[in-house]
Amino acid sequence: MTIPATLPGDIELRVSTDPVPYRAALEEMTARNAAIAAGEARELVWLLEHPPVYTAGTSAASAELLDPRFEVVEAGRGGRYTYHGPGQRVGYVLLDLRTHARDARGFVHGLEGWVIETLRDFGVEGFRSEGRIGIWTRDIDGREAKVGAIGVRIRKWVTMHGFAVNIRPDLSHFTGIVPCGIDEFGVTSLERLGKPVDFAAWDAALLARAPAFLAALDRPCPPETAA
């Protein structure tokens, strides 16, 4: 079941309350991306959860698939191997950048910022790390660990895929891959960090920051700086 709504700019918001199989979501996302590019559909932000799956980006290396205990799907997005599963909030963001700043790097920067600002609402300091894709934080042992993944694809200036934030997933499921090709850092979650958050609270905080995220896409990305 989904709950329809609208974001600024007449962007459709869809919140799926039941887990959506990854292949089905990818098929629907691909079709919607093409329809948006053709001017036949509205832009879409889709919040959902997947059954356990490993997804392979265009740079995935076979040696980084350590234990294919779950289905493995070629995602078509940038990046390497990623895990999706219960307890993880996935956000697919399908926007027409032709109506914004036509800035691919700015879109990724804005997406990262949207997640980072939302994490702050729950007392978690998220940050970018130069040379490492994703959203990072300090784990309970003080070391840097990934709390959110970013992976996008842009076709005809229309975006697809998006972000995945670890709310309360089974972190042992990540051990079947080298997440995003980075093996020297761990993976954490809001639950592990002592922040009990449910999807409803996360979604409400995220969507409250959606107008600022969308407004940022109208400005070119700031120059690259060290994290």
* Residues recognised as catalytic: 180
Long-range own/partner contacts, residues 203-208 (CB < 8 A, 24 or more apart): 203/15, 203/47, 203/89, 205/118, 205/121, 205/122, 206/47, 206/91, 206/114, 206/115, 206/118, 207/7, 207/13
Distances (CA, A) of 51 to 119, 170, 197: 23, 12, 19
Cα(206)–Cα(24) distance, integer angstroms: 24
Residue 150, marked binder: yes
Residue 2, marked binder: no
Residue 162, marked binder: yes
Give the strand pairing for 88-94 and 81-84: unpaired
Residue 149, marked binder: yes
Three-class DSSP labels, 79-145? CCEEEECCCEEEEEEECEHHHCCCCHHHHHHHHHHHHHHHHHHCCCCCEEECCEEEEEEECCCCCEE
Residue 194, marked binder: no
Residue 83, marked binder: yes
Residue 77, marked binder: yes
Residue 31, marked binder: no
Residue 91, marked binder: no
Residue 80, marked binder: yes
Residue 155, marked binder: no
| Binding-site sequence positions | 77-84, 149-151, 162-164
| Binding-site sequence positions for substrate | 77-84, 149-151, 162-164
